[in-house]
Structure 1
């Protein structure tokens, strides 16, 4: 039987709900989400449960990380269904503020991250994005004061930005990255997958398949530049409009020319129709 799960919407209610955990000296893990939860999110929740005594899941569709041309208004929102899914996962608390709580009248402070936030990947195509992410994550960390925060590796550049944010601002939270959860055909789970038509969904696994092929070739000693050029051509033939497909240093996200340059992460962003998909893979 599912637990009766508390959902709080105000800062005062959040403080009241967290107080008993703090009074007992219990550790707290936070899983930040924008809702529309899928199996990938639930995997993060289960990992958070292994990392701390208590698990808090935040659900907030953050307007500051969407550009005017992006899908903020249509982004799926289904709080009741999300809470129902979390109730079976031993979650202790859902923090679900609205925009007026997160960005009240007079709000005038924003974080401008650098380092991995300026790697020329997502930031090149969504220059507003990481400022919005960094600001909302810093707020969530300040509100919940978690000991651990769990993020998925599918948003790899975001994971590196948040890790740098926590370290640079001494936020006293351990940021943990979890491997990407995939469908059986390799497609990375994403709330935006529901936007794909049936025909697009059938083609979408090529994104992961091409990355996996690149990883094999680079590991075998093939020149990185030629491998990545071939990947772009292959994705284009498969009907993707490619924003980037890159080989980068796995920690700094700096460009790499050979395997000698350090651990390598392959990253891709491409559109199928109107749906933008991202993925990444270690070499």
Structure 2
């Protein structure tokens, strides 16, 4: 598959970083773990920021091989949910009813963090989030790293009309002037009209909402599972009309994609799969 197949997972890497920075643990995280194993990299440590606990964002969690080595150390971050924080939610998914391995069987040292919306600094980068328009509390993460701003919004519904809470306007303010925005674009506008309220966006609406915000590079993700590569390839070609103005770059995310952003004399590398973006 060219555009999709695995569910959401993204890794960000930057010069001088000595820890992993991962977003979501969909099935793509299994490939990232396999990649790290091939590198024979020992003593992995890092943070995994999960946007929300829907299955497609945590399905790969128990298949991440670094969790099974006592030499490794990770912090797992998740916004508070109706039924609890990060540890409570993940332990509820990883029970013997659903999977043979439970959280207490993982060998790595793991800290579970219920992530707050406010900006927090982690040395080489900082993280804050805006609550998405989705069916459970879902983070739209804003990452400041290497003098750049990356916004990751894989599940977010941009309604066609302005709402009393001014969600679209607040979202536009949050993403203003970002260097990279990765945003949900599961549907066409025609499909969306039959799925309004399902928590995902039409790609045409994403373009319309993001155009005036000063976002430099836009990547559309969370492709509908019933949309094949041929259809997505044609859609990707249509997006090229928006390059140059208003965006420097606009395209669909793909399996194995790497997005490279110059940072002064070095560069930040955002990897799709190594950690898959889908």
Give the TM-score normalised by structure 1: 0.29
The higher-RCO structure (CA 8 Å, 6+ apart) is: 2
Structure (1/2) with the larger helix percentage? 1
Q: Which has the higher strand share?
A: 2
Larger Rg computed on CA atoms: 1
With normalisation by structure 2, the TM-score equals 0.29
